[in-house]
Structure 1
């Protein structure tokens, strides 16, 4: 029998653009006394999230393999957890940030299907972020190519729910979202936040995941499989050199005006002409913003952009972004 206590694991879920990376940065910069190993996973062939996560003493492990943890990459997660056991003196908590398209059920199953993982790690809680401004729209997307089921599953399986971006909605809208969320999950505590600024004692080390309840509600839970909507895809583009900011903003505005309804998430790290700073672009549907961050220094100036959405045209997006390169 293992004499050491199990390492608690928090799984962070939420649909695209709900604010997961913002919450990760809040956790990594807050004073909470925990040494945290962060496992990053994103749905796409270009790694963006690790560039957007604040550096620190915590161990950052990237899983940018074009798949989410609920698919074949779950075996990779088991291997990473096995590897972390050899360095467990360096951390006392693990945070897994899943892809915005991840079904939390198979992620949770990871901690019960492998004997070594089950013996050494304990799933502390599944925390789901909800975008107050867009979640109802996503939940209403049903049918053959709807994402409503994915967004609903993330809410239904949560032990804690954080309704984020409440600064973007009025009181009536927040009330409607809260009622909708509560109708899907009747038992999870619901928190509200702006920029994912929450009391971390409400989500870390809370011992909220209840396997008995989960299996009682769904006896086939450990055998469930997960498949993505084939119409959803990720287009990732990486370009050397600098972009002309005016041209980029003009192109992006035109693209968003035409395809914003199909763009669930847009994120990137950009090099702009005559600007020594890295520019982060974040977007959800028709909303986006550009924020300057740290200087490039001696690093190679490379612009990376990832767009996740429905029926995206890679060649069209690539051509548009290449047209923004500074001459």
Structure 2
């Protein structure tokens, strides 16, 4: 079961994937959050009549629930529905949840918020959250697909900023740890949390900032597995070949003194995560050309990308992110006087060639 959640906090938009148990908790518990839920007409969330405070019926049914949340059913254009919610119910909610029964790939909705000016001007994409059923995950991840077709379960993990491994009470610890390791091989950027009955602190899944450039450093850290109970992850993606400004993000959560390249493969032979770390200063013109050509030739295979650069002659750190051919980057904060000038980039996608990516990235370094 997949849900996309959009949250508007100061007109901030958030996209997340949830299961019914967590969504029902959001809609029924007295948590103090003001959340609007957009459910598609084939959704499986059943709202008890006793929980409905008020209801309007039309092209889209809108229910006001007793806990202050809104629930509406969309039968037409999602973009229009979001626009109407923002216009007509402005001030009544801070977050939007989009329930997406039958949607396997979140990329089209993510890209919508960069392609549709009316949406982009009112809200900002915030993050993707995926719930993984610990009991049945392997069944879905191991499902054999026709050649050229990517496993839907793998895709939902690959695009995530937050991953919740749910139903851990139904499997033993070694199985959970093995699943977590497998998930990490697909997505090195996401923060991960374990849960029972889909119960997590809502602050973990609301206000992620997954598409904020200023939070890229957290996204390109080496490994979040050991911090899965505490950390949040943010991702920002955009690229319309307007790559005049690349974002470069630096991580100092670990003690790396040497060049480093990690390439993890999932059981799905086509989907993996590649992270590259190297010292030195980047030639921005070379990096711009390399990234531009990379996205021009392989944008379909690159699900997500985030990075941080130490650019020659630039006192600020340069951070960037991308989702397929949508790319965004800009200078960020100033480098600290004694801060190591490290370049980092993380790719998540299918058919990634780790060696070629490693060489291409390091070829953009200024030669000493």
Per the shorter chain, which TM-score range? 0.5 to 0.7
Q: C-alpha deviations, 1:251-283, integer Å up to 9, x for none?
A: xxxxxxxxxxxxxxxxxxxxxxxxxxxxxxxxx
Structure-2 separation of matches of 1:138 and 1:13: 16
1:211 counterpart (234, 237, 255): 237
Q: C-alpha deviations, 1:157-206, integer Å up to 9, x for none?
A: 00000001111111111011101111111110001111111111111112
Q: C-alpha deviations, 1:100-147, integer Å up to 9, x for none?
A: 543111121221111010010112211100010111111111232998
More helix by percentage: 1
Higher relative contact order (CA 8 A, sep 6+): 1
Question: 1:81-96 alignment to 2 at 5 Å?
Answer: 81-86=82-87, 87-96=89-98
Q: Give the CA deviation at 1:49.
A: 2.1
1:23 alignment counterpart = 22
1:38 is paired with a residue of what secondary structure?
strand
- 1:130–1:25 distance in 2 versus 1, CA, 3 Å: same
2:178 counterpart (176, 179, 187): 176
TM-score (norm 1): 0.55
User: Are residue 109 (structure 1) and residue 111 (structure 2) matched?
Assistant: yes
- 1:147–1:172 distance in 2 versus 1, CA, 3 Å: farther
Structure-2 separation of matches of 1:52 and 1:192: 28
2:125 alignment counterpart = 123
2:13 alignment counterpart = 9
Q: Give the CA deviation at 1:91.
A: 1.3
- 1:105–1:52 distance in 2 versus 1, CA, 3 Å: farther
Structure-2 separation of matches of 1:208 and 1:184: 17
- 1:148–1:141 distance in 2 versus 1, CA, 3 Å: farther
1:135 counterpart (134, 137, 150): 137
1:59 alignment counterpart = 70
Q: C-alpha deviations, 1:31-82, integer Å up to 9, x for none?
A: 443211111126x4xx53244796523211113x5xxxxxxx6xx1101011
- 1:85–1:217 distance in 2 versus 1, CA, 3 Å: closer
TM-score (norm 2): 0.49
Question: 1:235-254 alignment to 2 at 5 Å?
Answer: none
- Would you say the 8 A contact 2:9–2:95 is kept in 1? no
Question: 1:247-326 alignment to 2 at 5 Å?
Answer: none
Structure-2 separation of matches of 1:161 and 1:192: 8
- Would you say the 8 A contact 1:13–1:99 is kept in 2? no
Q: CA RMSD in A?
A: 2.8
2:121 is paired with a residue of what secondary structure?
helix
Select between 187-196 and 101-110 the one with higher mean Cα deviation. 101-110
- Would you say the 8 A contact 1:5–1:120 is kept in 2? no
2:271 alignment counterpart = none
- Would you say the 8 A contact 1:35–1:58 is kept in 2? yes
Q: Which runs of 5+ in 2 are unaligned?
A: 1-7, 53-64, 212-235, 239-246, 248-303, 306-320, 328-368
Q: How many aligned residue pairs are there?
A: 201
- Would you say the 8 A contact 2:107–2:323 is kept in 1? no
Structure-2 separation of matches of 1:6 and 1:103: 27
